[in-house]
């Protein structure tokens, strides 16, 4: 007998999924445990195995399409079995719900029928292409054959010369066959600015990940009253300690981010009121320390979790973060990899960002935004000398954390990074 395979709920926040790939086709025999499809959730692309057996009779969601959780993903049954009745039966409850809603609607009185008047309009004319010769102060209209289907037509030698001279081929008028750009066009180009006269843009559908990021961060920003605390941290000692550690553990490496994670974890143990979560009717103060580390991917942002970070050595923290980053880029993170964070770190220092603020990642009460290390003038012993400074901004949910509590945490964090030997116990590396 035919059975429906429904769109699975692969994460707590998943409301709909996208079929990234089908591994079976209609007519294929399916065994329990066979890989049926890859499903893109709000967090990652996950493999979906069939729990049923039979022949694949119907595919309800084509590759690339989106469908809500519990909708028909596929139907399995015996070969050549008719599934029409099963599909119709599944549609009945939805139709019934729509009918109930329509029964309660107030139907407005029928407006007087108005006959539409046809108005003839001239057909739109394409915008002409033109170029301005800045040297001659003249305007000319080049042929439109230089660009075909969005691709500039140019000889290989012309492309090479344009690349060497840093010229944009879209700005050069071609004089070769069918408007092709050739060597002489590159050599004769003298500051002519060409305009295609055509506006262009690309619309990309919003991914499941980006939808959930937008929803969750909007809810956080507009429901949690944020306030921000920033400190400047002198990183000279941290830089020296890191260099010494890396020499002693070569070929392993400890990054500044590893030091940041460790310093945050130890500071949370000293300031447990920051290691808290808002749950509406109560505040949960976590005794364990699970640090979420924001990782940028093409579709948005993922936050895998380093568990019990205060108990782990620097090398283990670094290894886990690297592994998570790779799994995130490969869309291989599993639900357990991103669940359970009690605090979040967002580090954009490696992207050349000096300072920024981040939005609290629910249900955490705080998130730390870490900038890059900058060499700036600092005052030491009454003298202005070069120094290395890093800025960190703590975003706090004021429902849970007050200014004094957040400040105490930041002071602990600053102290550990400015005196990193305090982090280095027997099992700290």
The CATH number linked to 182 is 4.10.320.10
The reply to whether 429 falls in a domain is no
Q: Residue 292 belongs to what domain range?
A: 208-423
Average confidence (pLDDT) over 375-392: 92
**Is the pLDDT reported for residue 349 higher than 90?**
yes
Do residues 314 and 403 both lie within one domain? yes
Do residues 181 and 87 both lie within one domain? no
Do residues 177 and 67 both lie within one domain? no
Q: Is the pTM of this model over 0.85?
A: no
- Interval 186-239: pLDDT, tens: 888 876 545 555 677 788 887 777 787 788 888 888 888 999 999 999 999 999
Do residues 12 and 90 both lie within one domain? yes
Average confidence (pLDDT) over 386-413: 96
Q: Using CA atoms, how far apart are residues 229 and 67, in angstroms rounded to an integer? A: 42
Active site residue 398: yes
pLDDT at position 105: 43
Average confidence (pLDDT) over 174-182: 85
23, 288, 290, 398: the catalytic one is 398
Do residues 222 and 272 both lie within one domain? yes
Are 253 and 322 contacting, i.e. CB atoms less than 8 angstroms apart?
no
> How many Cα atoms are found within 13 Å in the side-chain-facing hemisphere of 310?
19
- Interval 30-46: pLDDT, tens: 888 888 898 888 767 88
Choose from 60-69, 138-147, 206-215 the range with maximum mean pLDDT: 60-69
Do residues 332 and 395 both lie within one domain? yes
Distances (CA, A) of 126 to 146, 153, 193, 195, 408: 17, 21, 20, 14, 65
Beta strands in 213-348 (DSSP E): 226-234, 276-278, 283-285, 290-293, 295-297, 300-302, 305-307, 343-347
As for how many domains the chain has, the answer is 3
For 113, the token pair is 């029928």
pLDDT at position 94: 59
Are 258 and 242 contacting, i.e. CB atoms less than 8 angstroms apart?
no
Do residues 45 and 137 both lie within one domain? no
């Amino acid at each position: 007998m035919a059975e429906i395979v429904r769109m699975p709920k692969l994460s707590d926040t998943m409301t709909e999924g996208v079929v990234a790939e089908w591994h079976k086709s209609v007519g294929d025999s399916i065994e329990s445990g066979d890989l049926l499809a890859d499903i893109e959730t709000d967090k990652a692309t996950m493999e979906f195995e069939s729990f049923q057996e039979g022949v694949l009779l119907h595919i309800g969601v084509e590759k690339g399409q989106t469908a809500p959780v519990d909708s028909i993903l596929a139907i399995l049954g015996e070969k050549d079995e008719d599934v029409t009745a099963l599909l119709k039966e599944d549609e009945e409850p939805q139709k019934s719900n729509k009918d109930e809603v329509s029964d309660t609607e107030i139907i407005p009185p029928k407006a007087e029928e108005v006959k539409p008047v046809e108005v003839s309009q001239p057909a739109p004319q394409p915008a002409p292409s033109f170029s301005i010769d800045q040297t001659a102060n003249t305007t000319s209209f080049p042929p439109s054959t230089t660009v075909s289907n969005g691709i500039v037509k140019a000889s290989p030698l012309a492309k090479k010369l344009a690349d060497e001279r840093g010229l944009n081929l879209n700005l050069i008028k071609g004089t070769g066959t069918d408007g092709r750009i050739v060597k002489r066009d590159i050599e004769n180009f003298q500051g002519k600015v060409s305009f295609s006269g055509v506006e262009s843009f690309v619309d990309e559908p919003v991914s499941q990940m980006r939808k959930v990021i937008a929803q969750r961060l909007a809810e956080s920003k507009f429901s949690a009253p944020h306030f921000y605390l920033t400190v400047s941290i002198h990183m000279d000692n941290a830089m020296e300690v890191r260099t010494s550690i890396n020499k002693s553990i070569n070929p392993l490496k400890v990054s500044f981010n590893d030091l940041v994670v460790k310093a945050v974890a130890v500071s949370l143990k000293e300031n447990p009121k920051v290691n808290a979560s808002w749950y509406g009717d109560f505040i949960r103060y976590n005794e364990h320390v699970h640090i979420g580390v924001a990782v940028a991917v093409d579709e948005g942002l993922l936050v895998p979790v380093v568990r019990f970070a205060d108990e782990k050595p620097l090398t283990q923290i670094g290894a886990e973060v690297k592994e998570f980053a790779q799994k995130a880029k490969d869309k291989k993170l599993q639900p357990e990899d991103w669940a359970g964070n009690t605090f979040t770190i967002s580090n954009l220092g490696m992207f050349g960002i000096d300072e920024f603020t981040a939005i609290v990642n629910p249900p955490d009460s705080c998130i730390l935004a870490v900038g890059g290390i900058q060499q700036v003038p600092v005052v030491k012993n009454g003298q202005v000398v070069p120094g290395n400074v890093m800025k960190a901004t703590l975003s706090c949910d004021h429902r849970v954390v007050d200014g004094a509590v957040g400040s105490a945490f930041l002071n602990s964090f600053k102290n550990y990074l400015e005196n990193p030997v305090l982090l280095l116990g027997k099992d700290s590396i």
